[in-house]
Structure 1
Amino acid sequence: SLAGHYMEETLEVELAIVSMWCVLSLQVNIVIQDIYKELKDGIYLLQLLELLSGESLPKPNCGKMRVHFLENNSKAITFLKYKQVQVKVIGPENIVDGDQTLILGLIWIIILRFQISSITLDKVKRALLIWCQHKTASYSNVSVKDFSKSWSDGLAFNALIHVHRPDLIHYSSLRREQPIKNLNNAFSVAQKHLGITKLLDAEDVAMPHPDERSIMTYVSLYYHYFSRLKQGQTVQKRLAKVSIDDLKFQYEQMISELLKWIKQKVVELDDRCFPNSLQDMWMLMANFKTFRMVEKPPKYQERGMIEAHLFHIRTKQRANNQRPYLPPEGSTLQDVEKHWVILEKAEHSRGEALQREMQRLERVEQLAQRFLKKAALRESYLEDMRKVLRKQDFQPESVDKVEAATKKLEAIVADVLPREQRFRALADMASVITQENYHRKIQIIKK
């Protein structure tokens, strides 16, 4: 199988996949129960590739037909080919049809390309091992020789964190004879303070020969995090060399772009032109959730970056005995705060409006279903009465037959007239459904 080409054990493939999807779940609030079924529409796959690559991919088609699923998965595979990832064996139809072997192989290819690297696994292993050895060289009780038993006592994980962030780990308090405690300490600190997902259980690592590939995958997260941290520090050092005027320009540009985004989103959130079908409303609700969980949080972080940027400007000015920079009117931190409050009010209001509209549509849908059910009963009754009338002979040939016919007519009238109110009630229901702009109101009116 394709999966076996990349990993020796299927269990290891599944562990790596679960690890990757944990990262995705924590960052975009998605919970994957069955990857073979839930990758089908291609939306989660596109989100995963965006998250790991840091690049923008084409927006997925939210349709529910097979052709929409094939389109989304084709976008994902096209992106992988563009990134020179070898995906010749698998096509969009394999993902839509839930081909387990090819899907496992695809996810592991993605992990190799984006989570560990596109170079060969042996080179990755050697490079990552050298990095670990270099970072932990000053720790006398740590000896990283492999990605298995060298990590069993938990000290190596703690050392990797401590060498970069000594404020997070009280390293001298750790004891080799307490491996579970050491491992849980490192895993908890990494998750809480560094945002590194806990992919391993302490009990699975605190053994003579823990799984090598699992540890290597997890350690690669440390490498990626601290590499980005170092790049960020480099950027900060370069920023210190930038002139005050350039910093002012950057500040005003940053705040202008954020305020533009806020105002645009307020207009979108204030829109109350909702669709009149439940299916379309569910899609609108999903888009709103994406705004709250995915789109808005980075913008909140931008607010903090803008504040830090302004603080940096004023710090440099104080160091140079310059007068503090006062942002122009409309570009102050107070302006951002004011518009952010408006944004959050609009968000809250839209959430309530969507909920109310969803409840209204559900009520109308239920009413429409009751109408159709009652209409079917009324139609059945009318057809039965037509049959009764067709069977009657109302041509009087004698007084006796006239009396008999009269009695039959009276019996029919006695059965029909009391039902008039039921038909009027049906008409009233149809009127309400039509007034509520039910998406199939033409059918209701015709009925």
Structure 2
Amino acid sequence: MESTLYFQKLQYQESVQKRTFTKWINSHLAKRNPPMLVNDLFEDIKDGVMLIALLEVLSGQKLPCEQGRQLKRIHWVANIGTALKFLEGRRSVYRGSPIKLVNINSTDIADGRPSIVLGLVWTIILYFQIEELTSNLPQLQSLSSSASSVESVVSSETASPPSKRKVVTKVQGSARKALLKWIQYTAAKQVGIEIKDFGQSWRSGVAFHSVIHAIRPDLVDMDKVKGRSNRENLEEAFMLAETELGIPRLLDPEDVNVDKPDEKSIMTYVAQFLKYYPDLHHTVTDVQENDVSFSFIPITVLNRGSEDRLMLRDLKVWAEQFERDLARAQMAETSLQEKYQSFKHFRVQYELKRKPIELATQSLRKDGKLLLDQAIVKQAWDRVSSRLFDWHIQLDKSLPEPLGTIGAWLYRAEVVLREEVSIQQAHEETANIIHRKLEQLKVNIHAFILGTTTSKLYCKLGLSSFCYYI
């Protein structure tokens, strides 16, 4: 009887994790160009192609991959091996040491073994979502234990048969504890509820509403929430998060409204809300536990009008998505001409947003400093500007000669122009700095004129491939 109940529990846990993890993967693969879709996680992961695609989207890096309709098992194992090697080369945010994948091997993934596949995906979620997001919260490094929060080990439970192996991903206090603390002191405490774990505490749906309320109080009436059924609360919370906050719906009410909800699935879903809380170092609430201090500030309590807060939040979300789209476009394997067209498309969008963002990030304080939510937007904008600039330089340098040389000259001129001139106490010294910069620009301009003249000569000679880029 006990053995039957155990296997039923195991099957439930496996089915919920499979659904949740599949939706999580698809929410990221949808950002890919072209998008990809996982239908059956245990089957679709076998050849390693979608696994590599997922890691590329999450990391922004390009990985080698065997592709094609006639892939054989040897190619599957090679792809999965590439993915595992890439993961083991990454470092845990908390510990700083490489991620450990114990008893997760290419052949088990190629066989589609459920427990091993789920263990691998959970490791990816921990590293790329939960660890990275919780590490942005202030003073959480002190929570890290001697072991990384991302360590996958295979263990045998006494109640399970010897032949039934199960991957157990250890959360060594760090990321899990940080995520729970964040929930407790930014959401639960505000509405007077207690959240002890990522299981039973979420069954009623009230906890999900408390998180949404902490971000957008106008969306939730907590008094009504506390008087409704579990299913009603869960359905509305998932709907609000998706339609109002843009958070993918990874769970359904029936996944949570059970005696023992799956903790990993709930952690995966809840961690998505972290992106709405910036990395802040000013104190609103200090909570002490074991001499560890936590200071969190929801965006909603910053001293700005609600319209300004919403505008800044939207600008931040736009900049972060724009940066991800830029990274994917740079990685795309297309011709130079197509890359230039793609770049022009992004440049137009960038210029349209420039003025609104510059206005939104103007200081309102006498000392000239930015408010925290303004600083977050400015940092995101600066990253976008830098990436777009670097891509432009990369494209110019890829042009056929002599245009590639001109691109390099333009790059040097851009670098000079982008360098800020620090005002010195001695005005003569400041003048000398400006003079040196002008001389640098003069040299680059002369070189540019020479290069342009040469390029026009190529066009007159009928070298149309060069003329296209001028």
Q: TM-score, normalised by structure 1?
A: 0.48
Q: TM-score, normalised by structure 2?
A: 0.46
Please say which structure displays the higher CA radius of gyration. 1
More strand by share: 2
